[in-house]
């Protein structure tokens, strides 16, 4: 009889500890606080260390020269940041935020977002609303990727989430972004696929039903005239969604020319210009390959540009770039 009771007690103890571990694991996703609203951490995929040829000698001049890059292991968010996630940040930090009559959202005087569209606004309706000191998402738009957010806004969101979660979230470097989008050394032309006939399975681009008629690529049929909710298409082999199309994505560091990568340092031609990757629902396939690079001022807000997060493994340096001559340069995100 005593042996049976001991066995039951042992089994109960194991079940109790299993429940505690499960709750602790789940608690990292939604964390309550007395002073802050709930926040949500992104689902991430581990991108293992590797090397690949970054850039494209047959593309635009800013894509060349192709050069070898070594990327250290890191985590990449599976999805682009959504309206709902960004609004959680805005409300959590609202004491530092001011909204102007023109609809500009200022964080300690930095323009982080806009509530109004000023470019390619065909069919656009406001998705993030502001009333009586509170932000909210328009009906049916919570799962859509946030747009009209500046580089400052993307950086501030990453800084905030890193602070409240205790994990090293940040914007990805360009090398990390391209490596993850092209599936490492495979370096596919678009995220998940290199055959244009299958591109609509993986990417939301300016297809035959695109809102902007003048820019349509009529051989694609993805089913969305504008943006799509995050994760609406197939992921690439790393489990990442919408790396091509839907919205273009801010990267962490300032724009630089590959030809300035010499003697272990990156020469930044303009510290206020930041790189945007991936193409969007406004791009045709040619403007959305894994090597295409766009740049914009850090405070620019566009209806086609959003972002996703990366996460460092512990406090390591995000990425190491190695040129063909063998010298190296550390490339990491900026900090405000």
List CB contacts of 156: < 8 A, sequence separation 6 or more.
Answer: 89, 93, 107, 110, 112, 336
Residues 6+ apart with CB under 8 A from 308: 42, 76, 77, 79, 80, 81, 172, 249
Instruction: Check residue 256 and give its pLDDT.
Output: 87
Contact 158, 150 (CB under 8 A): no
| pLDDT at 7 exceeding the cut of 70 | no
- For the chain, the domains span 50-327
What is the Cα 198 distance to its own chain's centre? 23
Would you state the pLDDT for residue 39?
83
Based on C-alpha coordinates, what's the Rg of the chain? 22
Mean pLDDT of 132-152: 97
Residue 336, pLDDT > 70, answer no
Percent of the chain with pLDDT over 90: 71
Residue 80 Cα distances to 227, 246, 247, 305, 309, angstroms:
12, 9, 8, 10, 8
Which residues lie across from 134 on neighbouring strands? Answer: 131
How would you list the strands of the sheet with 169-170, edge to edge? 44-47, 74-77, 310-311, 169-170
Choose between 262 and 152: higher pLDDT: 152
φ, ψ for residue 102, nearest 5 deg: -80, 0
Candidate from 114-128, 218-232, 251-265 with smallest mean pLDDT = 251-265
What pLDDT, on the 0 to 100 scale, is given for residue 268?
52
From residue 34, alpha-carbon distances to 31, 86, 92, 158 in Å are 10, 20, 12, 21
Identify the pLDDT of residue 269: 56
Q: What token pair was written down for 221?
A: 């049929």
Distance between CA atoms of residues 171 and 74, nearest Å: 12
pLDDT of residue 325: 28
Output phi, psi for 287, to 5 deg: -95, 15
Residue 318 has a pLDDT of: 55
Q: What is the pLDDT of residues 165-185, one digit of tens each?
A: 999 999 999 999 999 999 999
How much is the average pLDDT of 130-139?
A: 96
CB neighbours of residue 148 within 10 Å: 26
Quote the tokens at residue 268.
Answer: 């930044």
Contact yes or no for 306/276 (Cβ under 8 A): no
Mean pLDDT score, 306-310: 98
Return the pLDDT at 68: 94
Give the C-alpha separation, 281 to 210, whole Å.
Answer: 8
Residues paired with residue 131 on neighbouring β-strands, in sequence order: 134
- Per-residue pLDDT tens for 39-76? 889 999 999 999 999 999 999 999 999 999 999 999 99
With tokens 């009529």, the residue in question is: 218
Q: At residue 104, does pLDDT exceed 50? A: yes
Entry pTM: 0.82
Q: What is the assigned CATH class of domain 50-327? A: alpha beta
Contact at 8 Å (CB) between 208 and 217? yes
Range with lowest mean pLDDT among 62-66, 273-277, 314-318? 314-318
Higher pLDDT, 29 or 301: 301
């Amino acid at each position: 009889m005593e042996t049976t009771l001991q066995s039951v007690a042992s089994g109960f103890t194991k079940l109790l500890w299993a429940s505690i571990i499960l709750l602790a694991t789940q608690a990292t996703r939604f964390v309550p606080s007395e002073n802050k609203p709930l926040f949500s951490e992104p689902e991430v995929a581990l991108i293992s260390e590797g090397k690949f040829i970054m850039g494209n000698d047959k593309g635009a001049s800013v894509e060349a020269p192709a050069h070898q890059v070594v990327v250290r292991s890191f985590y990449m968010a599976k999805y682009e940041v959504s309206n709902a996630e960004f609004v959680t940040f805005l409300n959590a930090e609202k004491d530092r935020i001011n909204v102007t009559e023109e609809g500009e959202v200022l964080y300690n005087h930095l323009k982080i977002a806009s509530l109004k569209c000023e470019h390619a606004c065909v069919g656009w309706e406001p998705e993030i609303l502001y009333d009586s000191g509170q932000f909210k998402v328009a009906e049916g738009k919570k799962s859509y990727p946030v747009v009209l957010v500046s580089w400052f806004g993307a950086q501030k969101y990453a800084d905030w989430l890193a602070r409240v979660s205790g994990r090293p979230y940040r914007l990805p470097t360009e090398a990390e972004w391209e490596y993850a989008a092209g599936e490492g050394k495979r370096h596919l032309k678009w995220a998940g696929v290199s055959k244009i006939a299958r591109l609509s399975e993986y990417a939301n681009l300016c297809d035959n039903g695109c809102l902007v008629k003048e820019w349509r690529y009529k051989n694609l049929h993805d089913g969305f005239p504008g943006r799509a909710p995050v994760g609406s298409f197939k992921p690439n082999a790393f489990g990442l969604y919408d790396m091509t199309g839907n919205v273009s994505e801010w990267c962490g560091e300032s724009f630089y020319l590959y030809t300035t990568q010499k003697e272990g340092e990156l020469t930044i031609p303009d510290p206020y210009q930041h790189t945007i990757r991936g193409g969007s629902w406004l791009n045709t396939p040619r403007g959305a390959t894994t090597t295409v690079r766009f740049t914009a001022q850090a405070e620019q807000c566009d209806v086609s540009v959003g972002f996703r997060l990366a996460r460092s493994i512990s406090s390591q340096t995000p990425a190491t770039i190695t040129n063909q001559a063998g010298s190296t340069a550390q490339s990491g995100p900026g900090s405000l």
